[in-house]
Structure 1
Amino acid sequence: MSESSVTGVSADLQGPDRTSHPSQTSQQYWTEAAHTGALREVGLPEPGPGELLIETLYSGISRGTESLVHRGEVPANITETMQAPFQLGELPFPVSHGYLNVGVVRQGNESLIGETVFTLAGHREHVVVPEAAAHVVPEGCTPQRALLAGIGEVGLNGLWEGPVLVGDRVAVVGGGLIGLTTALLASKMALQRLQVVEIDAERRGFIESLGLEAVAPEEASPDNDVVLHSTASSAGLASALRLAGDDAVIVEQSWYGTAEQQIPLGADFHARRLRIVATQVGQVPGPRRMRRTRGERLATALDLLDSRFEMLISGHSPLSELPAVMRDVAAGAPWTREQILHVIDHPLAEHHAFG
Structure 2
Amino acid sequence: MTHAARAFWLRSPGLGEIRDSEATGPADGDVLVRTLYSGVSRGTESLVFRGGVPESQHTAMRAPFQEGDFPGPVKYGYLSVGVVEEGPARLLGRTVFCLYPHQSRYVVPASAVTPVPENVPASRAVLAGTVETAVNALWDAAPLIGDRIAVVGAGMIGCSVAALLARYPAVRVQLVDSDLSRAAVAEALGIDFALPGDALDGCDLVVHASASEAGLARSLELVASEGTVLELSWYGDRRVSLPLGEAFHSGRLVLRASQVGTVSPARASRRTYADRLALALELLADPAFDALISGECAFEELPSTMAAIAAGELPGLCHRVRYGDAP
TM over 0.5, yes or no? yes
Distance, in Å, in 2 between the alignment partners of 1:124 and 1:313 is 20
- 1:52 maps to 31
More divergent stretch after superposition (129-138 vs 200-209): 200-209
Task: Indicate conservation of the 8 Å contact 1:319/1:345, yes or no.
Answer: yes
- 1:72 maps to 51
* Residue 327 of structure 2 corresponds to residue 347 of structure 1: no
Distance, in Å, in 1 between the alignment partners of 2:265 and 2:210 is 25
Distance, in Å, in 2 between the alignment partners of 1:165 and 1:76 is 39
* Residue 261 of structure 2 corresponds to residue 279 of structure 1: no
Distance, in Å, in 2 between the alignment partners of 1:185 and 1:206 is 14
* Residue 200 of structure 2 corresponds to residue 207 of structure 1: no
Partner of residue 292 from structure 2, selected from 309, 312, 325: 312
Partner of residue 134 from structure 1, selected from 93, 96, 113: 113
Displacement of 1:326 after TM fit?
0.6
- 2:246 maps to 267
Partner of residue 173 from structure 2, selected from 176, 182, 194: 194
Task: Indicate conservation of the 8 Å contact 1:60/1:344, yes or no.
Answer: yes
Task: Indicate conservation of the 8 Å contact 2:196/2:218, yes or no.
Answer: yes
Mapping of 1:144-293 within 5 angstroms? 144-293=123-272
More divergent stretch after superposition (41-50 vs 192-201): 41-50
More divergent stretch after superposition (142-151 vs 195-204): 195-204
Ranges of 4+ aligned residues in structure 1 off by more than 3 Å: none
Distance, in Å, in 2 between the alignment partners of 1:50 and 1:277 is 40
Distance, in Å, in 2 between the alignment partners of 1:140 and 1:205 is 25
Distance, in Å, in 2 between the alignment partners of 1:280 and 1:45 is 33
Provide the identity percentage: 43
Distance, in Å, in 1 between the alignment partners of 2:299 and 2:203 is 43
Local SS of the residue matching 1:201: coil
CA deviation profile, 1:178-220 (whole Å, cap 9, x unmatched):
1101111111111431110111222213322321110111221
Distance, in Å, in 1 between the alignment partners of 2:219 and 2:213 is 10
* Residue 6 of structure 2 corresponds to residue 27 of structure 1: yes
Opposite residue 321 of structure 1, the aligned amino acid is E
- 1:86 maps to 65
**Residues 1:41 and 1:30: Cα distance change in structure 2 (over 3 Å):** same
Displacement of 1:348 after TM fit?
4.2
Distance, in Å, in 2 between the alignment partners of 1:35 and 1:145 is 28
Displacement of 1:127 after TM fit?
2.1
Consecutive unaligned residues of structure 2, counting only runs of 5 or more, are none
More divergent stretch after superposition (261-270 vs 316-325): 261-270
Local SS of the residue matching 1:344: strand
TM-score (norm. length: structure 1): 0.89
TM-score (norm. length: structure 2): 0.96
User: How many residues end up aligned between the 2 structures?
Assistant: 326
Opposite residue 80 of structure 2, the aligned amino acid is N
- 1:327 maps to 307
Consecutive unaligned residues of structure 1, counting only runs of 5 or more, are 1-19
Distance, in Å, in 2 between the alignment partners of 1:45 and 1:150 is 26
